[in-house]
Structure 1
């Protein structure tokens, strides 16, 4: 919005030309979201506490987590609010991709908020039923995927495989249902990972840093041609969205770091995971996201393996507890050590993913 306001005034005041530059708008999108979180965060946490929007803790989990019962939840609303304000201020309003990303974030956030409110009302860890949650996630992911197809055209259905020179698989009519399942899976993967103070928000920061680089180079014809990756003109403007999300996550982590003053709840985790999946569809990095978000894949995989092994062995467990971060806690590692080590893994996975851009 600021771009549309100030660029027409360049003929009167030349420095306004700075709003033309993507790097300037991206940097200040991050700063704006960060400042919003810092300013509104304490007030929102106190409001959630007064409303008794506290977290219910599973009694079958690590006993050290029982002390967290009643900690304000639904803090993901702070992330979404900061991103919405920042993006609306700093994007090129004609960017269709940016609006898809923003509306996807809000859409998944609303599903998560409904789930959180039901948990708070029932005073349990059960909110929406699995069927209800999946159905709503498919609606949002389907709408996002369809909108991406309308903007991108037939090339949207192509899947790019890292490490190969000829690396295009056209999914055709299967692309839409696969995209819906894929985005929904990422929404749930981040949701499952959000079990320790600062874990999910820190890992999303690494993932968004990687995506900020990817959206910028994918939207530049010269760099994308040099690296042998698909050039997508609309992708570059997503960098503004990514930096706004980065600033919001850093601002939220200020309050979410151990010992957490607030949890993001499903409102935050479902929206962050869903938007990662949507971003990967827009810049054709669906498979690369599996590397960038390697820790999320491990966490989701641990739950799936635990359930499968439990059924196959009629009651035995592969891990002491799933998801994986709880397994390491029950092995005796402190929560903060598990979080930092998973952050390190998240950074390594992001670097590995970026290193593949030239290995083709």
Structure 2
């Protein structure tokens, strides 16, 4: 919005020329989202407390989590508001990729909000059915894949880190691939959101990395030099990534141990869906497995635990899944688990950026 309102005035005052630069607008979006969280966070927490919208803790989890019962949840609503407001304020609104990303993020947020509402209203850790949730997630992801394949200049080719000359073309099967990536990313972030600040921290790192890649993918000269797929208009997604970065950083202000509020499925499903969609749009899908390694590890730990449990009639690989609970059961304090997972996430983020030259 600011671009459309103020940039045309650069002919009158050269200072307005700064709104032309994506780097400036990305920083502006990050700072705006952060300030929205910081200013409205306390008011939002008080409002949630008045309405008695509190976390419902599963009774088979670590005993230390029982004290989290009743802590305000659905903080994802505020995250989504901060991301949407800052994106609309700083991004170019004539870019269809920006609107596509906003749509899928808010759609996944709606799924999560309905799930959170069912949990709170029933005072149960079980929300909407797994089938209904999955069906809605598939619907949202499918719309992204179909939109992109019908978008001029888009195709079903994949980009593989480390291999610059291997670009398999999936054709219309790319839609199925997009569904797997987006739905998988959404659920992986959702599974990670089990400790104070655990999901928000790696999301900040992932958003920062994809901010860099979005900017490069939309710059024809830099994309050609670094031998990554050029996606026209994708630089504007850097503003959206900046908004996620700032929004999640602001949320950590209140979500750090001991948490004053949780994001709930409203936030985790939406953020995971957004990261998966960004990866699909800029054709850096496999990079998500690197930069989002924490999310992948958490999801795999659940898959492995469930599969092994069924095959061995009750035996377990981990003391408890998702993976972060395994370390809690081993005696690690919650803040130690979270900070160490953050450290791993930062290392993975740096490694993901390094793939730009390891091709």
TM over 0.5, shorter chain = yes
After the TM superposition, which residues 332-347 of structure 1 pair with which residues of structure 2 at under 5 Å, given as runs? 332-347=331-346
* Alignment match, 2:159: 160
How far apart are the structure 2 equivalents of 1:74 and 1:226?
43
Question: Deviations 1:180-203 (Å, cap 9, x if unpaired)?
Answer: 122111100000000000000001
Shift of 1:165: 3.1
Residue 44 of structure 1: aligned partner = 44
Provide, for residues 107-152 of structure 1, a one-character-per-residue CA deviation record: whole Å limited to 9, x for no partner: 1000000000000011010001000100111111111222222225
TM-score, normalised via structure 2 length: 0.98
**Which shows bigger deviation, 344-353 or 13-22?**
13-22
CA distance in structure 1 between the partners assigned to 2:23 and 2:153 by the alignment = 28
Equivalent residue, structure 2, for 1:110: 110
Tell me, in whole angstroms, the C-alpha distance in 1 between the residues paired with 2:53 and 2:106: 20
**1:20 to partner: Cα distance:** 1.1
Moved more, 139-148 or 101-110: 139-148
For 2:64, what is the secondary structure of its paired residue?
helix
The DSSP-based 3-state class of the residue aligned with 1:89 is helix
Partner Cα distance (1:129, 1:140) in 2: 17
Match of 2:187 in 1: 188
CA contact (8 A) 1:218 1:224 kept: yes
Q: Which residue of 1 aligns with 2:56?
A: 56
Contact 1:145 1:278 in 2 (8 A): no
In structure 2, stretches of 5+ residues that fail to align are none
Q: How does 1:120-131 map to 2 (within 5 A)?
A: 120-131=120-131
The TM-score with structure 1 as length reference comes to 0.98
Question: For residue 202 of structure 1, what is the aligned residue in structure 2?
Answer: 201
- Give deviations 1:218-264, integer Å, cap 9, x for gaps: 11122211211111121111111110111101010100000000000
What residue in structure 2 maps to residue 304 of structure 1? 303
Which string of whole-angstrom CA distances, capped at 9 and with x for unpartnered residues, describes residues 254-282 of structure 1? Answer: 00000000000000000000011100001
Q: Which consecutive residues of structure 1, in runs of 5 or more, have no partner in the other structure?
A: none
Give the Cα–Cα distance (whole angstroms) in 2 for the partners of residues 134 and 165 of structure 1. Answer: 34
After superposing on structure 2, the runs of 4+ consecutive aligned residues of structure 1 that deviate more than 4 Å are: none
Aligned residues: 359
What is the alpha-carbon distance in structure 2 between the residues aligned to residue 322 and residue 269 of structure 1?
A: 17
What residue is the counterpart of 1:9 in the other structure? Answer: 9
Whether contact under 8 Å (1:108, 1:270) holds in the other structure is yes
Q: Which residue of 1 aligns with 2:267?
A: 268
